[in-house]
Structure formats: C-alpha cells, structure tokens
Structure 1
C-alpha cells in the first residue's frame, strides 16, 4: 500500500511507496550554507538514493537556491536550500503498453527539497515534483 498518490501535471498518478525526510542543514556543526557544501550534499543524496533503491533510476528535482544578504565567507556567498530534504521511491503503471499490467510497473527514485516536512499528496505536491517527465525518467520492471 502506498503512502500517498501524487498526480503529475501529465495526468499520470504515481504512488509514493517510501519516503525519507531529513533536515537539510541538521548536521551542519560549523561553517555556513554555501554552494560547495550544497553541491556535496546533493551528490551525497544522489549516491545514497542509488544505493538505497538499487536498480531504480534516480532523478534530482533541481532545488531553488536562495542568496540572503549575509557576509560571504571563505567559501563564497551564503547559499540556502529549502529546509527539508526528501528522497522518495515512486511506482506507477508500466510505461510500455505491450507489458502486462499485472506483471510490470514503472519506478523512479526522486530526490527533492521542500520548505516544510509534509508528505506530498494528490495535486498538493511541490510544483517541480508534479512536473516530473515520468515517461522519460522512469523505467519498467517486472514483478
């Protein structure tokens, strides 16, 4: 049973089967949010998502980056990502119409950021998440 169903802008429904949320800067002990730190964080998330959901393609929804008017330190200007990091495993009907619907489904692991810790559902998901080009990113798997 899915945690939630998200309706993509294309009209396709995808089921959120597993969701991992964390604070984007929860482990930041010293320093400040900046581009090098954020890029490393995103790379780490993509690698861990690929390991956690082996075999499924992984897609990053490019996060919005804010640049508050704060002192730029040794690593460049302050760059802030949304507060909540999300890694979700999604499933939907098979992409290939020749595949038996009872034996195949499509899958995709998605990494995205959001401002608050809420489970995306229906048409209330983040717009960038709803705009996923599922047919281009996901792949079919045999059950």
Structure 2
C-alpha cells in the first residue's frame, strides 16, 4: 500500500512507498549554511539513498538556493536550502511495454527539498518533482 499517489506532468502516476523527511539544518551544530556545507550534505544524502536502496537509481532534484544578505564567513556567503529534506521511494507500472504488468514495476528513489513537511499527493507537490522524466530516470525490476 502506498503512502500517496503523485500524478506527474507526463500523465504517469507514481506511488510514494517510503518517505524520509528531515530538517535540512537539523544536524548543524556549528557554523552557518554555505555552499560547501550544502554540497557535502547533498552528497551524503545521495550516498545514503544508494545504500538504503541498492540497485535502484537515485535522482536529485537540484534544490533552490537562496543567498540572504548576511555576513559572509570563512566559507563564503550564506547559502540556504529549503527547510525540509525529502528522500522518497517511488514505484509505478513497468517502463517496457513488453514486460508483464503483474511481474514488473519501475522504481526510482528521489531526493528533493521543500519548504514545509507535507507529503506530496496528486498534483500537490513541488513543481520539479511533478516534472521529473520518469521514463529516463527510473528502471524496471522483476518482482
């Protein structure tokens, strides 16, 4: 059973089967948000997603980055990502029309950022999530 169903802009519906939400800067004890910190955190998220879901492609939706007018420290200007980090596992019907629909499905793990901790559902999701090219990013697997 899925947590929710998302309707992509392409018309394909995908089921969200697992979702991990976390505060983007919840683990930051010292320093300030900057490009270096953000890039390291994103790389860690991608490695973690690949480890948790081996064999499933992982796609990063590049996050919007804001540069508030604040003092730049030793690591450069302040760079802020949206407040909530999301790692979701999605599945849908098989990509290959020759695959038996009862025996195959397509899967993709997606990492994205959003301003609030809400579960994407229907057409109510971040635009970049709805616009992802499932046919190019996902892979079929046999059940």
TM over 0.5: yes
Structure 1: tracts of 5 or more residues without a match: none
Deviation at 1:76, TM superposition (A): 0.2
Q: How many residue pairs align between the two structures?
A: 143
**Structure 1 residue 35 and structure 2 residue 35: aligned?**
yes
Distance 2:119 2:33 in 1: 25
**Structure 1 residue 106 and structure 2 residue 106: aligned?**
yes
Query: Which residue in 2 is equivalent to 1:74?
Result: 74
Distance 1:43 1:126 in 2: 21
Distance 2:49 2:104 in 1: 22
TM-score by length of 1: 0.99
Deviation at 1:108, TM superposition (A): 0.2
The one-character-per-residue Cα deviations of 1:88-116 (angstroms, maximum 9, x if unpaired) are 00000000000000000000000000000
Q: CA RMSD in A?
A: 0.3
TM-score by length of 2: 0.99
Query: Which residue in 1 is equivalent to 2:21?
Result: 21
Deviation at 1:55, TM superposition (A): 1.0
